[in-house]
C-alpha cells in the first residue's frame, strides 16, 4: 500500500525523467517507467513479465495456504515479498511497466533506479535465505532433509 501511495505521489509531482536531488551526487528521486525486470532486463517482454509476476503471486499464496504453521518472522518476510510482488504487479497492469523512483550513486556508479516494492522483495528474500542457511524454515532447525 505504501509503495502504491508513494508511486502515485511521484507520478503527480515529478515529470517523467526529471530528477530531484536529495543528497547531491548520491541520492535522488526521479520518475522512470521500467517495462522490464531488474536492471530493465527483458524490457521487450512486458506481457511475459506481468504473467510471471502473477504466477509468482499465486504460487507464494498457495505455498503459504498449505503450510501448517507460519511463524511471526515468516509472516513478516513473506508479507514483504508478497506485498512487493503485488505492488509491482499493479504497476504492470496499470502502466505496462513498473514505476521506479529511487536513485543512488556511489562515486561514478549509478545503481539502477528502484522502488519501495523492490526494497520489500529484496529484504524479504534476504530473510528467506538467512532462514534457509540457519535451517529454520518449516521448523527444521539444523536438521538435514
Ramachandran angles phi, psi of 26, nearest 5°: -145, -55
Which residues are paired to 30 by β-bridges?
A: 19
Q: Which residues are catalytic?
A: 100, 118
Dihedral angle computed from the Cα positions of residues 119, 58, 42 and 97, in that order, rounded to the nearest 10 degrees: -70
Residues contacting 117, CB < 8 A, separation 6+: 3, 83, 84, 85, 86, 87, 88, 91, 98
Burial 54-92 (b: 16+ CB within 10 A, else e): eeebeeeeeeeeeeeeeeeebeebbebbbbbbbbbbbbb
Amino acid at each position: 500500500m505504501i509503495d502504491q501511495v508513494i508511486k502515485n505521489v511521484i507520478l503527480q509531482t515529478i515529470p517523467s525523467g526529471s530528477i530531484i536531488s536529495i543528497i547531491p551526487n548520491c541520492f535522488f528521486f526521479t520518475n522512470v517507467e521500467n517495462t522490464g525486470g531488474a536492471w530493465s532486463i527483458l524490457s521487450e517482454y512486458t506481457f511475459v513479465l506481468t504473467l510471471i509476476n502473477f504466477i509468482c503471486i499465486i504460487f507464494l499464496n498457495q505455498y503459504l495456504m498449505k503450510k501448517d504453521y507460519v511463524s511471526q518472522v515468516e509472516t513478516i518476510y513473506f508479507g514483504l515479498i508478497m506485498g512487493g510482488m503485488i505492488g509491482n504487479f499493479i504497476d504492470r497492469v496499470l502502466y505496462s511497466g513498473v514505476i521506479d523512483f529511487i536513485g543512488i550513486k556511489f562515486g561514478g556508479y549509478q545503481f539502477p533506479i528502484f522502488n519501495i516494492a523492490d526494497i520489500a522483495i529484496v529484504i524479504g528474500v534476504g530473510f528467506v535465505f538467512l532462514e534457509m542457511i540457519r535451517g529454520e524454515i518449516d521448523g527444521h532447525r539444523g536438521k538435514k532433509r
